[in-house]
């Protein structure tokens, strides 16, 4: 049974795709897990990081993207989820020099169009927009869950904003990591996505949920060595669960965005950002392990 990890924030540019790929590669290589990355963002950055621009164009030309999977299934074509995946993606090697067991369901510019089309189709069956939206979201959730069977970990790189695909990902996720950059609007953005994840109407209601019972945890990313950043992070951490790891603002992490042909070592790809990646993985791995065990126990009851 796969564990679903979403990386989400309604704000763009906070490092969702960067952190998603880092965690996917860390779990595949250091954790020896079978990992699948699902790219839910129509900007497709996770896909570009993992297979490069040409690889992504090839996937689109071959009709092997998340949009193609959705379209085919909704059209009643007996689509097999794995037919849309790219196996062994990324430009890093594991310790034996081989590509890790990391697969990708490539993103698509058309994902937003599909959600609109599904909405229109469902709207023929009900005139209540809320019911229609819930049904469409539910269908997307089912499609995402179909990918659970053959993986240990499914990472959902979410789009910014509140598309039905983003909502479906948040519903599907066993755990959500919310990266944020320490600035003055980040608190608001974190509050808003936390309310959504915990399904609470007010911050008071959210505040009543103990930190260790919340499905999400925050991750400060792009942190500079300044008192202002530290204060902002501490302030957000008073109200929200927060990883101890703080990802610094580093050129090496920014450069890891660029896909290169061939396989290189993690050290080569991440440079001095590798120690930060290791720290992040070391903190997140036991957290997911615990949550996965709880999920398994709940399923067996």
Cα 202 from chain centre:
25
In the complex, least distance from residue 80 CB atom to ligand ADP, rounded to whole angstroms: 29
For ligand ADP, give the closer residue by CB, 203 or 257: 257
The sign of the CA dihedral 184, 187, 192, 196 is positive
Q: Strand runs (DSSP E) across 129-194, as ranges?
A: 153-157, 175-180
For ligand ADP, give the closer residue by CB, 81 or 159: 159
CB 65 within 8 A of CB 108: yes
For ligand ADP, give the closer residue by CB, 77 or 254: 254
Name the binder of 254 from Mg ion, ligand ADP, none, CB < 5-8 A by kind.
ligand ADP
In the complex, least distance from residue 288 CB atom to Mg ion, rounded to whole angstroms: 21
> For the stretch 221-242, what's the b/e string if a residue is b when 16 or more beta carbons lie within 10 angstroms of its beta carbon?
bbbeeeeebeebbeebeebbbb
Q: Strand runs (DSSP E) across the chain, as ranges?
A: 3-7, 35-39, 102-105, 153-157, 175-180, 216-223, 247-248
For Mg ion, give the closer residue by CB, 16 or 246: 16
For Mg ion, give the closer residue by CB, 2 or 46: 46
In the complex, least distance from residue 200 CB atom to Mg ion, rounded to whole angstroms: 26
Beta-bridged to residue 242, according to DSSP, are 218
Cα 282 from chain centre:
18
In the complex, least distance from residue 20 CB atom to Mg ion, rounded to whole angstroms: 8
Name the binder of 60 from ligand ADP, Mg ion, none, CB < 5-8 A by kind.
none
In the complex, least distance from residue 213 CB atom to ligand ADP, rounded to whole angstroms: 26
Minimal CB distance residue for Mg ion: 17
DSSP state at residue 128: -
- 85 is written with which tokens? 């995946």
Q: What are the residues binding Mg ion (CB under 5 A)? A: 16-17, 41, 45
In the complex, least distance from residue 107 CB atom to Mg ion, rounded to whole angstroms: 9
DSSP state at residue 85: P
CA trace torsion 220, 290, 10, 239 (10° rounding): -60
Name the binder of 153 from Mg ion, ligand ADP, none, CB < 5-8 A by kind.
none
Name the binder of 217 from ligand ADP, Mg ion, none, CB < 5-8 A by kind.
none
For ligand ADP, give the closer residue by CB, 82 or 230: 230
Q: What are the residues binding ligand ADP (CB under 6 A)? A: 12-18, 45, 221-222, 247, 249-250, 253-254, 257
For ligand ADP, give the closer residue by CB, 149 or 257: 257
In the complex, least distance from residue 98 CB atom to Mg ion, rounded to whole angstroms: 27
Name the binder of 222 from Mg ion, ligand ADP, none, CB < 5-8 A by kind.
ligand ADP
> For the stretch 48-72, what's the b/e string if a residue is b when 16 or more beta carbons lie within 10 angstroms of its beta carbon?
bbbbbeebbeebbeeebbbbbbbbb
Name the binder of 247 from Mg ion, ligand ADP, none, CB < 5-8 A by kind.
ligand ADP
């Amino acid at each position: 049974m796969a564990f679903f990890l979403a990386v989400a924030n309604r704000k763009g540019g906070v490092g969702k795709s960067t952190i998603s790929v880092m965690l996917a590669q860390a779990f595949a290589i250091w954790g020896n897990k079978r990992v699948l990355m699902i790219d839910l963002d129509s900007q497709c950055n996770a896909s570009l990081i993992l297979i490069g621009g040409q690889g992504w164009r090839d996937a689109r030309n071959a009709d092997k993207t998340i949009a193609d999977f959705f379209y085919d299934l909704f059209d009643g074509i007996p689509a097999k989820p794995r037919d849309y995946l790219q196996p062994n993606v990324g430009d890093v090697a594991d310790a034996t020099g081989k590509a890790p067991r990391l697969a990708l369901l490539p993103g698509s510019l058309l994902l937003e169009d599909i959600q609109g089309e599904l909405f229109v189709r469902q709207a023929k069956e009900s005139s209540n927009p809320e019911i229609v939206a819930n049904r469409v979201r539910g269908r997307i959730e089912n499609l995402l869950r179909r990918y659970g069977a053959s993986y240990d970990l499914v990472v959902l790189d979410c789009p910014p904003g509140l598309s039905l695909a983003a909502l479906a990902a948040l519903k599907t996720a066993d755990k959500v990591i919310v990266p944020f950059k320490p600035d003055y609007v980040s608190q608001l953005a974190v509050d808003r996505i936390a309310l959504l994840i915990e399904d609470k109407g007010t911050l008071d209601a959210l505040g009543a949920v103990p930190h260790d019972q919340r499905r999400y945890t925050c991750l400060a990313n792009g942190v500079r060595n300044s008192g202002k950043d530290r204060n902002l992070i501490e302030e957000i951490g008073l109200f929200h669960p927060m990883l101890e790891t703080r990802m610094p603002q580093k050129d090496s992490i920014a450069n890891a965005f660029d896909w290169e042909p061939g396989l290189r070592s993690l050290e080569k790809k991440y440079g001095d950002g590798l120690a930060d990646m290791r720290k992040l993985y070391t903190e997140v791995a036991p957290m997911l392990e615990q949550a996965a065990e709880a999920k398994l126990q709940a399923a067996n009851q």
